[in-house]
Chains A and B, each alone.
Chain A
């Protein structure tokens, strides 16, 4: 690649062109102003669609053929079924049978179950992936085996990229728990119900062709219609669209680890002492054992003080649902649904509201509600001395996770990362993060089992904890403490080859991931 590298505003060397298209290096938070118009799909006409509204085709393969599947196209899917997703596999099996090559897969996220697709990356059916690179796919990418550069975006960044025409989707395939033959669809009914279908909104609005696939076809109208059939080209019924028991993610159980419980409890105490928990406040506590426990401790404090939250931002799960039902929160604004209690609640409770990355996260819009949330609880694989954080690679250099909504949530009023100081000898606080995903100016507090570090920019928070018994330390002290226990880690070795690019919420390039040097 004769691609010139430039230093972006975060001091990272990034290319000006990725996969043959020009890109803008990161310019800083709130510094890049987009121009031009949004992308628009072709004008459709009723002339081309059945007058009776029945768009049902006999098979996914026929639907793909009808949508004009051919070499080099971009196909999108969504991760609503998480580890229970069957659709991506079906799509690329069809493509392989049809002998189609060089496809770009544009998922909203990938999971370990997608390791099946490695063979299609090998044989050229899939050219490359733009989306989160989880587990086996991340390893494949990190070892330099993918033919082009992966592009990782946040949930909001994915909406932005589609809306802005950065990624033009040829065929979007939307898996739904329930749908009618016209294409109206939702994720709250049927044996494969997975909850909110918000990640598919951008694809429905902007893709050239849209296919809805379900295993629970209902007579018109399919209500609620989170995906509107007016966007849909054809519908398909399959035997099984997802594996229900794997739709519930394994990371959605409250932790039993004493370290993490201690961290969660300290996080809740911090939010109490600093007045972040107050009447009418709002919070976001995502998946992951620690975050879920934080939510539980929030509940305890709210009960004790007799206060209520105005809204909680989901990922919803049974714990959040029970808070809604108990009256501790007025609304759940749900981005994705992590368990069956969440699915049931969306179905039954009008105060459990379906959202999409458009309403919650899209940075190229007239505002979104991420910035209205009082406190967000997030994770990280690494944090550096300037509070910059990494969520996609591990300290050994391997790409193993997606960005999810993480970058978008950084715009919350108080961003707290409750994380263990080290994980099985891997220190979390580093001199410099392996991959920069979020700028330190947006990260306020790091809470570990051995102490709390507050970003020096947040003088207000520092003042509020001054007379508390919370173990406040500097981030440097925490780093020294971890290194005293674990030893000073070496940095991983990389080649010069860029295997993935990390986009900031505005579509600029904040960092890149390089190929790891694999042991002989």
Chain B
């Protein structure tokens, strides 16, 4: 019996995806059968892609079936490559050209208010993910991908990193828990990923392993792919600082509360009293290591008011961002982590006082007869910068400033 392998998805609600099945046959030529909702428009180009890929992998006798519901080329290619490589033992990669706009890099301390999680095997959600204004996009290979889909998701995520324009969002991938996560790196590191999220971190050693593997793939010491470990257990919380400071490529420390609350044996609540200690630990550890503390996701996508409350609380504890599981959450989180009007007003006064004292050559900054410490000035400058970047404050605000 000839073996048939499949990859992809099919179903009443599946769109922008396809199900591909490949059977290697004896003595027959290539038979390609395309059933597509966009056949009139793209049937020819799908057929060309199939032939080119079979040819690339040297397959001469096969039956390839495509059941397509408007999958974009990056998805079609990922699905076809997955079925071929289930048959053929090879490391050869069929790579579509990388978009010129996908070469951008991000900065260590770039804003990470919002990062939108995308299930790694659901291409429909990738296509427009960049338009909602989240600071980061996470292509997730871990919990949102079913175990039997882990293999094919790697091809899809790799192709998305090359072919999907995320409109300037920081391009992140959440790999699987180690050791499987180390194999994921091979698929994503060469394709201009900006940041790797490492789930269920409990020790500094795990960070070092990931960092070394990335260096090995890059062929030089990693200094371009940032790391964001996620603390998701009691042990992780206890080791938060050593994890945060395990490598200079760690730029943020995130918290995953679903797993954490399960680990300590409690229910997660909206109020979050049960995770107060963990959240304070993560904030403190991250700040001690000079990196950003990032809060967990808020799971009720319909309750946007509760989300806003949660985000305000998060900000007040010291976090500088949260995860998002739906695009609707992005604007609320972005707005909350920006400085408020009161904070901006205060920051303006401090910055003016600071600039005056500099101009007058006075060593200390004073506001209303109170001394202002350098970290306070630094925070005020940052708030002004954030407000200007977000369009909440004019770049020339000094011109109209009245004491």
Contact = CB atoms under 8 A, between A and B. Distances in A.
Interface of A: 258-259, 261-262, 395-397, 423-426, 449-450, 469, 485-487, 489-493, 516, 519
A469 B71 CA distance: 32
Nearest to B16: A424
Contacts of B41: 395-396, 425-426, 489-492
Interface of B: 15-16, 37-45, 69-73, 124, 127-128, 131-132, 165, 326-328, 391
A281 B37 CA distance: 41
B328 A258 contact: yes
B128 A493 contact: no
21 contacts: A258-B132, A258-B326, A261-B328, A262-B131, A262-B327, A395-B40, A396-B38, A396-B40, A424-B15, A424-B16, A425-B41, A425-B70, A426-B41, A426-B70, A469-B391, A486-B72, A487-B73, A489-B38, A489-B42, A490-B42, A490-B44
B131 A449 contact: yes
A486 B327 CA distance: 22
Contacts of B326: 258
Given A425-B70, A426-B70, A486-B72, A262 B132 contact: yes
B131 A425 contact: no
Contacts of A258: 128, 132, 326-328
Contacts of A489: 38, 41-42
B42 A425 contact: yes
A516 B72 CA distance: 24
The 9 closest A-B pairs by CB, nearest first: A424-B70, A489-B41, A258-B327, A425-B70, A396-B40, A492-B40, A424-B15, A424-B16, A425-B38
Nearest to B133: A262
Given A397-B40, A425-B42, A450 B131 contact: yes
A486 B75 CA distance: 11
Given A258-B326, A258-B327, A258-B328, A424 B132 contact: no
A261 B124 CA distance: 16
Contacts of A491: 40-41
Contacts of B128: 258-259, 449
B42 A487 contact: yes
Contacts of A487: 42, 45, 72-73
Contacts of B328: 258, 261
B69 A424 contact: yes
Nearest to A517: B40
B132 A426 contact: no
B40 A485 contact: no
Nearest to A427: B41
Contacts of A449: 128, 131
Contacts of B71: 425
A259 B127 CA distance: 10
A155 B203 CA distance: 69
B388 to A, nearest CB: 15
B167 to A, nearest CB: 9
Given A424-B69, A424-B70, A487-B73, A493 B40 contact: yes
Nearest to A258: B327
A516 B73 CA distance: 26
A485 B132 CA distance: 17
Contacts of B165: 485
A353 B330 CA distance: 41
B157 to A, nearest CB: 18
A370 to B, nearest CB: 33
B38 A424 contact: yes
Between A261, A426, A492, the greatest number of chain B beta carbons within 10 A of the residue's beta carbon is seen for A426
A203 to B, nearest CB: 37
Between A258, A423, A450, A519, the greatest number of chain B beta carbons within 10 A of the residue's beta carbon is seen for A258
A469 B390 CA distance: 12
Contacts of B42: 425, 486-487, 489-490
Contacts of A424: 15-16, 37-38, 69-70, 124
B127 A485 contact: yes
B31 to A, nearest CB: 16
Nearest to A434: B40
Between A424, A450, A487, the greatest number of chain B beta carbons within 10 A of the residue's beta carbon is seen for A424
Nearest to B68: A425
A397 B72 CA distance: 21
A420 to B, nearest CB: 9
A360 to B, nearest CB: 35
Contacts of B132: 258, 262
Nearest to A489: B41
A403 B391 CA distance: 43
A321 B37 CA distance: 38
A103 to B, nearest CB: 33
Given A425-B70, A487-B72, 9 more contacts: A258-B132, A259-B128, A396-B40, A426-B38, A426-B70, A490-B40, A491-B41, A492-B40, A492-B41
Contacts of B16: 424-425
A253 B251 CA distance: 43
A490 B38 CA distance: 10
A425 B40 contact: no
Contacts of B69: 424
A491 B124 CA distance: 24
Contacts of A426: 38, 41, 70
Contacts of B45: 487
Contacts of A493: 40
A423 B73 CA distance: 15
Contacts of A395: 40-41
A460 B47 CA distance: 47
Nearest to A396: B40
B170 to A, nearest CB: 19
Contacts of B15: 424
A490 B46 CA distance: 12
Contacts of B37: 424
Nearest to B75: A425
B117 to A, nearest CB: 13
Contacts of A519: 39
A396 B44 CA distance: 14
Between B39, B70, B131, the greatest number of chain A beta carbons within 10 A of the residue's beta carbon is seen for B131
Nearest to A395: B41
B272 to A, nearest CB: 26
B400 to A, nearest CB: 18
A378 to B, nearest CB: 22
Between A258, A425, A449, the greatest number of chain B beta carbons within 10 A of the residue's beta carbon is seen for A425
B317 to A, nearest CB: 28
